[in-house]
Structure 1
Amino acid sequence: MEEIEVGNHSKTKEVIVKPKVKMNKYALACALLASTNSILLGYDIGVISGAILYIREDLKLSKFQEEILVGSLNVCSLIGSLLSGKTSDLIGRRYTIVLAACTFFAGALLMGLAPSYPYLMAGRVVAGIGVGYSLMIAPVYTAEISPTMTRGFMSSLPEVFITVGILLGYVVNYALSGIPNNWNWRVMLLLAVVPSIGVGLGVFFMPESPRWLVMKKRLSEAKTVLVATSENEEEAEVRLGEITRAWELHEASNFVGQSVWKELLWKPTPGTRRILIAAIGINFFMQASGNDAVIYYLPEVFSAAGIKKKKLLFAINVIMGTAKATFVMISALVLDKYGRRPLLLLSSAGMAVSLSTLGLGSMFLRASGHKPSWAIVVSVIAVCADVSFFSVGLGPITWVYSSEIFPMRLRAQGTSLAVSVNRFVSGVVAMTFLTIATKITFGGMFFVLAGIMVLAMVFFFFTIPETKGKNLEDIGKLFENKKTSDEGREIREA
């Protein structure tokens, strides 16, 4: 209570002090180790955008071969995404992370040592499967091990590491651009084995997900992990009770004996259907935004705009990567304070404006004979704004949201399905971006992407409820209608 004086009278007013949210260091360490897996995709996205310029010259690739090479990793990653749900339910979240790192390691070796285009494609396929595993499992593991009040921050760490990987790839492009053309792209791709080794070794210091342990009825092990990731033993007991009750309730439901895929796709409840639509929709729009394709082909875009020096193109990439990394870290820090919905809506609106500006800039540069510097600067700023708005909302929140809205029994395979859509759309966009841009120009392509982001904003407004501060076991209620909620309440009371 605080006493204040108003005129000759004194009044008291109640001051509500919110308890400060503490970051559990053990949970943070586990989330950091798991999220490091995502650096594998980020590095590939960043490094291939520069390496492809040299690969094209060294192996004499056509535009079609270039698109297939770049996009094949994303398409093949949907194989890993689809398999990862069942795999992680069988062998656990922890060993699935190890499997992802080992698979990517083999793919990176194949790519770096490839003597020809077919061998290079084989490496992209293997690395893509590893990426698919890592993209699904890292957010699921971090969501399941994180305390409720810091889950947004910890679950957004995979996107932070993707962005760090992209920036690292750009820096490697810039640093190795001066060595001979037949060696530089090989070294660029081979360096990907370094983070995969680090990830594979780091996982052995991590505990298993407590929710997976409850699913396997290993309650004493689950409690040990929860004690380490909670403030005290009483909080751990409460969390264990919530997880156990949620699992027992699900086992007692009408879906006992029914496969997860049937529950998701054949006869889902209204709540499960809404969850699936939200998860697939956010993953679709994440990649339909064209963010990955812009990163992959940015040197092509600015080369067409009149910048011919490769080192300068790589320098622009580093500037863009720095902006992207900065804003994804800002998003991670404020996500648990402002919530998912506001940042998603801000992100999609900002990307629509940025892509429209980039479209105008590209069209002006294409029509202009002397390529004025101010127009190039405006286009660079628009690109940086686009990736920054993506990184403050749509990028990190897609992984957070996909991993937290499914109920425990459906989480692994539901998330794997949503991430598979993510990877498929990413591959299609990457493998058609140059072809479509040739038909309608880069400017026209950016206007199409801006229109997609307007549609995304409408979708997010109507289908994405806020999940900030909710326990994983309670989030499903947000997607239930009144009838479904009443039925669920009757089951619990019975």
Structure 2
Amino acid sequence: MAPRALEADPASVRRHVAVSAAITALGGLLFGYDTGVVSGALLFVKKDFGGLSNFQQELVTSLLLVGAVVGALVAGRVSDKIGRRPAVLITAVVFIVGVLLAAFTPTYPLLLVARVIIGLAVGSASMIVPLYIGEIVPPRVRGGLVSLNQLAITVGILSSYLIDYGLSGTGNWRLMFGLAAIPAAALFIGMLFQQESPHWLIRQGREDDARQVLRRLRDDGDIDAEISEVREISQREGGLRDLISPRVRPLLMVGVMLAVFQQITGINTVIYYAPTLLQGAGFGNSGALLANVVNGAVNVGMTIVAIWLLDKVGRRPLLLSGTAGMAVGMAITACCFIGGSQLHGALAIVAVLGLLIYTGSFAIGLGPVFWLLIAEIYPLKIRGAAMSVASTANWAANFVVTVSFLTLLTAIGGTGAFFLFGFLTLVALAYFWRKVPETKGRSLQEIERDLVRS
């Protein structure tokens, strides 16, 4: 029994949990900023380098995703090997190197190299941040605090839109990229003062260290039970064979399909190319970027609603209702383009409203629920590796959609592209209805016992 002086104070526990989650979520903010900033920067990059073709513009956007695939794939093994905290620190350093190189690049090829480096950090952050937060927070608030990462992503995207709009008069795309160095440095400094994941420490046989960390993050009555449960689970055999075993394979498939559907339903075509689409629909540079800011604000606002609801109504209701709303929004936008790519007056406004419905529905459902579920449903021994697989699938699907979207838009037009995304959203809805489990209010150990056994 710990001395009374070491017993957890509930207010202190809540404070430490919130601070740890908030600092780590800076990785999500960087994820959002670095993926969103290119949407506005692209309008000016193509001019500075003598006019870029559609394919060259797609490369600037999509090579980040190539790096993200590699970063997500490697990050799981790194975090399982050296710990979650060191992996976050390495990610912050890679962010700093990449964004500074992008800001000061003298040539187009070097800009592409910088985007790959930034992608390595984005991919790493995409799986390490929800993994770390999921393991340090108590079950009763895990949905909201893991989804703090998704809120940070949307805030990062909105911040990038605001920066793009604010700098649109000067066209200073280098500053648009370079400002990301500030939150990257804050993430590195903040993580120096954080503790290692207690679940990872228990897995390494360092239960005394884990107990010290848990005293800051849990009520005293929860500590022994959590250590005992994690110890029992961590003693099970883990590795590649376990990752593809018949017991785990269905859960792995759920994570992969969530990842793929999150991308092929079109969200990042909206994030990356909305200003380009709006510009083509008759908006000027400033008007297109301002409409993008509104879209980003809706994304943030609905993510806040999702965080409030996730631990109240559960994951499945938000996922299913949000996915249905995405299909409606995409159908509205598709119908607006039936008469051609040039939209005017009320039709242009309706098209923007369709995008807002789509983005808001994504933000309350598939956006946060995907990252939350992959931090919850996998066994401890393979959690890092399984999350890497799901994250890698996410970025790979993102790359395929992004690198082909402008070409697809030219080939089948806005109507065809948006109706295609709407159809894929309905397919996703049917899959989620049949396969995605509910995890609200259950400890990671309870989820593992129930889902793996089933």
Residue aligning to 1:383 = 355
SS in 1 for 2:106: coil
1:261 equivalent to 2:240? Answer yes
Alpha-carbon separation, structure 2, partners of 1:286 and 1:328 = 15
SS in 1 for 2:37: helix
1:51 equivalent to 2:41? Answer yes
Residue aligning to 2:403 = 431
1:35 corresponds to which letter in structure 2? A
Residue aligning to 2:437 = 465
Identity of aligned residues (%): 34
- Contact 1:274–1:479 (CA<8 Å) still a contact in 2? no
- Contact 2:333–2:355 (CA<8 Å) still a contact in 1? yes
Residue aligning to 2:256 = 280
Residue aligning to 2:9 = none
Correspondences of 1:407-426 after superposition (within 5 Å)? 407-426=379-398
1:291 equivalent to 2:248? Answer no
Residue aligning to 1:65 = 56
1:148 equivalent to 2:139? Answer yes
Correspondences of 1:176-255 after superposition (within 5 Å)? 176-179=167-170, 181=171, 184-231=172-219, 233-248=220-235, 250-251=236-237
- Contact 1:305–1:365 (CA<8 Å) still a contact in 2? no
Alpha-carbon separation, structure 1, partners of 2:35 and 2:233 = 39
1:313 equivalent to 2:266? Answer no
Alpha-carbon separation, structure 2, partners of 1:176 and 1:199 = 25
Alpha-carbon separation, structure 2, partners of 1:45 and 1:311 = 20
Correspondences of 1:43-192 after superposition (within 5 Å)? 43-59=33-49, 60-179=51-170, 181=171, 184-192=172-180
Alpha-carbon separation, structure 2, partners of 1:143 and 1:162 = 16
Alpha-carbon separation, structure 2, partners of 1:99 and 1:471 = 29
Alpha-carbon separation, structure 2, partners of 1:278 and 1:133 = 21
Moved over 2 A (4+): 22-25, 362-366, 476-480
Residue aligning to 1:446 = 418
- 1:110 Cα deviation from its structure 2 partner: 1.1
SS in 1 for 2:317: helix
TM-score by length of structure 2 reads 0.95
Unaligned runs of 5+ in 2: 1-11
Residue aligning to 1:490 = none
2:267 corresponds to which letter in structure 1? N
Alpha-carbon separation, structure 2, partners of 1:71 and 1:406 = 29
2:279 to 280, 303, 307: 303
- Contact 1:75–1:426 (CA<8 Å) still a contact in 2? no
Residue aligning to 1:8 = none
1:102-140 C-alpha deviation (Å, 9 max, x unpaired) = 111111111111111100001001111111111110000
- Contact 1:74–1:423 (CA<8 Å) still a contact in 2? yes
Alpha-carbon separation, structure 2, partners of 1:349 and 1:106 = 40
Residue aligning to 2:377 = 405
1:351 equivalent to 2:339? Answer no
Alpha-carbon separation, structure 2, partners of 1:69 and 1:451 = 28
- 1:479 Cα deviation from its structure 2 partner: 3.0
SS in 2 for 1:364: coil
Unaligned runs of 5+ in 1: 1-21, 486-494
- 1:188 Cα deviation from its structure 2 partner: 0.7
- 1:363 Cα deviation from its structure 2 partner: 2.3
Alpha-carbon separation, structure 2, partners of 1:389 and 1:423 = 21
Alpha-carbon separation, structure 2, partners of 1:356 and 1:90 = 46
1:36 equivalent to 2:26? Answer yes
1:225 corresponds to which letter in structure 2? V
- 1:23 Cα deviation from its structure 2 partner: 8.3
Alpha-carbon separation, structure 2, partners of 1:392 and 1:462 = 20
SS in 1 for 2:145: helix
- 1:289 Cα deviation from its structure 2 partner: 1.5
- 1:365 Cα deviation from its structure 2 partner: 5.2
SS in 2 for 1:269: coil
SS in 2 for 1:404: coil
Alpha-carbon separation, structure 2, partners of 1:185 and 1:459 = 41
